[in-house]
Chains A and B, each alone.
Chain A
């Protein structure tokens, strides 16, 4: 395959994913420029690849996580830590990892009291050292 063909496929892929995100999340993307969204998609494709997510359906679900989570969920240490742990569980196929996150984490309402109690399960060493 020529470099031009590879680039074209990549551009087509990016364009397809951009369009899919705009269709599925119009409220979150209506004020986002095409350039910004394309950067978001390219970075998402690269990040997804490190997790072994290649299928465009899975890549889309992965990239849309920040869009489906509320501000409280995005800043929840527990949701962030558990989502990271599950995504890193590469012995599970990508579908299973994303299904877990969408089923058990996305609907979750963060509880500061509960997260404080459960902190030892997901508090990182970096956060310990920062304190």
Chain B
């Protein structure tokens, strides 16, 4: 899921979760300070950089709802619509030294994970005691194949997908000058339908 944290991070966060669960059982109507408490513990146990990294990851990669990151989603939809047709892909007017690799990398970014990502292995192993508690308490359902299933596989899968796509756009935009980025916007807008496409430099930094 592209969250790089120090060793010992998970037990620290779990301890906060358990303290919160105990407190909620005793005082169910009190407001929750889970988020600031977690950040405080992380900053105190590790360092402020770890805290900042977690916040940044939560805001820019972690995907809770599939409607998040609309600019990223729209740009990927446009490329997906043209990637299967040589003429349509050429119509994006990417530089010759970038175009073929960009198309290949895009296929890899949106295709099944080739690196055995975590999302592919949810459900393979027996649940740990921690996991079975969360599954039972939250009603997680690995059998739910609906649009927004209630289960960790959705968040893991969606977050991995977001991370891969962001990596792709980071690579592509690094290969395009400002002028070429604008050309891409103009060309891709022909395939975007009625709703205007935002500039690709805004991918990954927009909110809902």
Interface residues of A, Cβ cutoff 8 Å to B: 78, 82, 85-86, 89, 91-92, 96, 100, 104-105, 107-108, 111, 114-115, 117-118, 120-123, 125, 128
Contact = CB atoms under 8 A, between A and B. Distances in A.
Interface stretch (B122-130, B156-164, B200-208): B122-130
A107 B19 CA distance: 28
Given A78-B133, A118-B18, A122-B133, A96 B141 contact: yes
Given A120-B19, A121-B18, A125-B25, A82 B133 contact: yes
Contacts of B141: 92, 96
Nearest to B19: A120
A125 B129 CA distance: 21
The listed residue with most B CB atoms (<10 A of its CB), out of A91, A105, A121, is A121
B22 A120 contact: yes
Binding site secondary structure of chain B: helix
Contacts of A105: 132
A127 to B, nearest CB: 11
A111 B132 contact: no
A86 B25 contact: no
Given A120-B25, A121-B18, A125-B25, A108 B132 contact: yes
Contacts of B25: 120, 123, 125, 128
A92 B18 contact: no
B136 A82 contact: yes
B28 to A, nearest CB: 10
Contacts, number: 49
Interface residues of B, number: 18
A85 to B, nearest CB: 5
B143 A96 contact: yes
Binding site secondary structure of chain A: helix
Nearest to B21: A120
Nearest to A101: B136
Contacts of B19: 120
B139 interface: yes
Nearest to A84: B136
A118 B139 contact: no
13 contacts: A78-B133, A91-B139, A92-B139, A100-B136, A105-B132, A118-B129, A118-B133, A120-B19, A121-B18, A121-B21, A121-B133, A121-B137, A123-B22
Contacts of A100: 135-136
A111 B129 contact: yes
A91 B129 CA distance: 24
B172 to A, nearest CB: 43
A131 to B, nearest CB: 13
A21 to B, nearest CB: 26
Contacts of B127: 104
A49 to B, nearest CB: 22
